[in-house]
């Protein structure tokens, strides 16, 4: 069945470091792909999305490119800040359903 | 942007009592609403999908008699946890969507933390 796999956390980085959180998916067809962010004690916020192959989603300095050939949607940021500390979820929305499938989440902590 | 609210944000109840959680779309009409449950340090688990004016569709393994969902209007869905037990303690998150199908984005509420003592 359709699934999303993302790197396990926690990930701890120093401020201004480069961030990569890996995400791969399995799906029949071509799903839309998302990254959501959850700050402590809050619900999910959509961070960025891509709806077709080679699309790049970007927001708040974060980027992810929809790679069909590697079935990946890795999240990157060139210089992280303490305020980026949160849990990040990779997700897909299949072409045949309206049900979002989430990865297990990656907790990111940024040290000052 | 579209805003979804949940009430209450936190609730503590005694074992055996029922708790109602509200999910409202504040600035749009939500044809479809979703209820998720999130365990500590885990991902979101979809519990059910509700469409306005019809019965909710529950995911496999979710007890529909325990988790009652009512999508009474295009801006309100409620989740009632009946006869709550400590194992029902969790973070419950709703999302709302303007239409059915993948072309419509889901907007998430801030979540409700339920603690059953």
Contacts of A95 in chain B (CB under 8 A): 102
Q: Does B48 touch chain A (CB under 8 A)?
A: no
> What's the distance, Cα to Cα, between the start and end of chain B in Å?
37
- In tens, the pLDDT along A26-85 reads 998 889 999 999 998 788 899 999 999 999 999 999 999 999 999 999 999 999 999 999
Q: Residue A89: which of B6, B43, B110 has the nearest Cβ?
A: B43
Cβ distance B6 to A43 less than 8 Å, yes or no, reads yes
Q: How many contacts, defined by CB atoms under 8 Å, are there between A and B? A: 48
Contacts of A104 in chain B (CB under 8 A): 42-43
What tokens does A93 get? 């929305």
The whole-angstrom separation of Cα B99 and Cα B40 is 30
Output the pLDDT for position A64: 98
Burial of A67 (0-12, 13-18, 19+ CB in 10 A): middle
What tokens does A104 get? 């297990």
Does the pLDDT value for residue B37 go beyond 80?
A: yes
Residue A11's nearest CA partner among A84, A65, A91 is A84
CA distances from A109 to A46, A101, B4, B29, B48 (A): 19, 24, 27, 36, 32
Contacts of A3 in chain B (CB under 8 A): none
Min Cα distance A98 → chain B (Å) is 5
Is residue B53 very low, low, confident or very high in pLDDT (cuts 50, 70, 90)?
confident
Q: Does B16 touch chain A (CB under 8 A)?
A: no
Contacts of B49 in chain A (CB under 8 A): 98-99
Min Cα distance A51 → chain B (Å) is 10
Output the pLDDT for position A96: 61
Cβ distance B102 to A97 less than 8 Å, yes or no, reads yes
Contacts of B41 in chain A (CB under 8 A): 105, 107
* Average pLDDT value over all residues in chain B: 90
């Amino acid at each position: 069945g359709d699934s999303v796999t993302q790197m396990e956390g926690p990930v701890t980085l120093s401020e201004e470091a480069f961030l990569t959180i890996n995400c791969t998916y399995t799906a029949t067809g071509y799903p839309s792909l998302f990254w959501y962010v959850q700050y402590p004690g809050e619900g999910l916020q959509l961070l960025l999305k891509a709806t077709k192959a080679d699309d790049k989603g970007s927001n708040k300095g974060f980027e992810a490119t929809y790679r069909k050939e590697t079935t990946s949607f890795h999240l990157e940021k060139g210089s992280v800040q303490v305020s980026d500390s949160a849990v990040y979820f990779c997700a897909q929305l299949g072409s045949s359903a309206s049900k979002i499938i989430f990865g297990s989440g990656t907790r990111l902590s940024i040290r000052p | 942007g579209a805003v979804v609210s949940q009430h209450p944000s936190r609730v503590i109840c005694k074992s055996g009592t029922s708790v109602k959680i509200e999910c409202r779309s504040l600035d749009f009409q939500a044809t479809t609403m979703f209820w998720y449950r999130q365990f500590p340090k885990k991902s979101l688990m979809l519990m059910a999908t509700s469409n306005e004016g019809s019965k909710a569709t529950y995911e496999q393994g979710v007890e529909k008699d325990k988790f009652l969902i009512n999508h009474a209007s295009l801006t309100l869905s409620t989740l009632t946890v009946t006869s709550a037990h400590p194992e029902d303690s969790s973070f419950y998150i709703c999302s709302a969507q303007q239409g059915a199908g993948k072309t419509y984005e889901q907007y998430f509420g801030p979540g409700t933390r339920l603690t059953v003592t």
